[in-house]
Structure 1
């Protein structure tokens, strides 16, 4: 899998986390989501210790998505990445928010219905 595929998957996981944030800000793009979460790619594939840079990225992305449309966009980006980047471990992706101290009201998964994210 190439780096762009990995970035998409990482973005998917983190975007879902960001979708739960109740903040208001400018519209977010998939490029921003993927770029933000790139430090998490290795963890999402192999597990182990979550890098501090990954948790910083997760928290930053969560804080950046402030509107329902932004959260739904980020969720869609993460879902797309999850489904296009091979090697992502579903358990690692689903547990990443909690490992970084971010509480989400839903579980990150490749089957999440992003239209229900508020």
Structure 2
């Protein structure tokens, strides 16, 4: 599958963690929050607790439409920078962690349409 979806998931998680701290979401923070997910996104298997913590943090931090859109944009751009990411693993990650994301993780998502 594609590296794009994985990168999107990673970026989204990092952005949410940043927002929890009351700061504006940044792509760097989204990426850092999702680094524990890279092994799963590339290889599948068991999702680590630290990965799920990162995802939930990013999701909880993206409280505004602007935050959710910025997180989406970060994820889309990050997906292209990570090699070997599996799009199906990325799409399944929020459910595996019990994180509710208001849009489907997909390389074709229009981030501007997120509410």
Q: Which of 48, 73, 76 is the equivalent residue of 2:73? A: 76
TM-score (normalised: structure 1): 0.80
Query: 2:30–2:74: 8 Å Cα contact kept in structure 1?
Result: yes
TM-score (normalised: structure 2): 0.82
Structure 2 residue runs without a partner (length 5+): none
State whether structure 2 residue 63 is matched by structure 1 residue 39. Answer: no
Q: Secondary structure at the match of 1:104?
A: coil
State whether structure 2 residue 57 is matched by structure 1 residue 60. Answer: yes
- CA distance in 1 between counterparts of 2:31 and 2:58 reads 10
Query: 1:76–1:114: 8 Å Cα contact kept in structure 2?
Result: yes
- CA distance in 2 between counterparts of 1:17 and 1:39 reads 10
Query: 2:12–2:58: 8 Å Cα contact kept in structure 1?
Result: no
Q: Which of 8, 12, 25 is the equivalent residue of 2:8? A: 12
Aligned length in residues: 110
State whether structure 2 residue 95 is matched by structure 1 residue 90. Answer: no
Query: 1:17–1:108: 8 Å Cα contact kept in structure 2?
Result: no
Structure 1 residue runs without a partner (length 5+): 1-5
After alignment, is 24-33 or 37-46 more displaced?
24-33
After alignment, is 70-79 or 24-33 more displaced?
24-33
When residues 17 and 79 of structure 1 are mapped into structure 2, their CA distance, relative to the original with a 3 A threshold, is same
What RMSD in Å do the two structures reach over aligned CA positions?
Answer: 2.7
